[in-house]
Structure 1
Amino acid sequence: MISHISQIGVYVTDQDAALSFYTEKLGFEVRKLQDGGDFKWIEVAPPGSPTTISLATKDFPVGTESKIGGFTDIAFETADIKALHETLSQRGVRFTVEPELQPYGKWFAAFVDQDDNEFFVFQPA
């Protein structure tokens, strides 16, 4: 049986810039950083999360250029969306949707990374 989601990928143009964004602006921790010269494997995650995000370049695998700069299908959860919005905004994170209460009862916001990859953030009602 599958126990959990281990890893998801986000494609970026510059792994070093992405690493800086995810660690310095979002506060994620580095779970894996292997530099093989021509190839770098980077995994980051929110503290305590069992699921990591791999920061992959558009060159691996070939043909992923179209996956940069769009909706990622990744949603994060927070206990205080307004405080998160304030903190991340102060760190330079650009929100595409400000926090708002949705008709289905959850708070919702959206932001982008350095490559305009878009993420959702939810706060349970």
Structure 2
Amino acid sequence: MDITIHQSYLPQDDPDAALSFWRDTLGFEVRGDVGYNGMRWITVGPVGQPATSIVLHPPAATPGLTDDERRTVAEMMAKGSFASINLATTNVDDTFEAVAASGAEVVQEPIDQPYGVRDCAFRDPAGNMVRIQQVR
């Protein structure tokens, strides 16, 4: 088998703020920005990796959710406990400084984890946990 990760989905409730964080702060390129019925789906990805993307989607567009479930999703997003993603960099300390300087919400400064990874963490504007790990 030849399986790769093509797209991952993260919810966003403010497309302009999401775009600013993912494009301007993290340096991802915009691969798509599609609007429909007052909602926007923004596809971003790391420069030089055209086969891997993140789709920043409006959670209200998720099919099959009840109104109660939509409220629960909104509450979990507000607490930052709904979605997360792990990214990687060759220098987590420099990356941390750059992202923190942008005003992003810092969750964890760079630290050597007991399980062998050096990482840091931020929240994006929708509350998604964004962990950045150092790769060797």
What is the number of equivalent residue pairs in this alignment?
A: 125
Alignment partner of 1:86 is 2:97: yes
Quote the Cα distance in structure 1 between the aligned partners of 2:84 and 2:95.
Answer: 20
Question: CA-atom RMSD, angstroms?
Answer: 1.9
TM-score, normalised to structure 1, is 0.86
Q: Alpha carbons of 1:71 and 1:77: their partners in 2 closer, same or farther (altered >3 Å)? A: farther
Preserved CA contact (<8 Å) 1:99 1:107: yes
Quote the Cα distance in structure 2 between the aligned partners of 1:3 and 1:118.
Answer: 25
Q: Alpha carbons of 1:116 and 1:58: their partners in 2 closer, same or farther (altered >3 Å)? A: same
Preserved CA contact (<8 Å) 1:11 1:64: no
Return the letter of the residue paired with 1:114: P
Aligned to 1:58: 59
Cα deviation for residue 104 of structure 1 reads: 2.8
74-83 vs 54-63, which deviates more? Answer: 54-63
Between structures 1 and 2, the one with greater helix share:
2
Unmatched segments (≥5 aa) in structure 1: none
Quote the Cα distance in structure 2 between the aligned partners of 1:31 and 1:5.
Answer: 16
Alignment partner of 1:74 is 2:75: no
Preserved CA contact (<8 Å) 1:25 1:92: no
Return the letter of the residue paired with 2:102: R
Aligned to 1:40: 40
Preserved CA contact (<8 Å) 1:73 1:119: yes
- What does the per-residue CA deviation read over 1:63-100, in whole Å, with 9 as the maximum and x for residues that have no partner? 45516232534110110000001111111112201101
Unmatched segments (≥5 aa) in structure 2: none
Return the letter of the residue paired with 1:51: T
Quote the Cα distance in structure 1 between the aligned partners of 2:132 and 2:70.
Answer: 25
Q: Percent identity?
A: 33
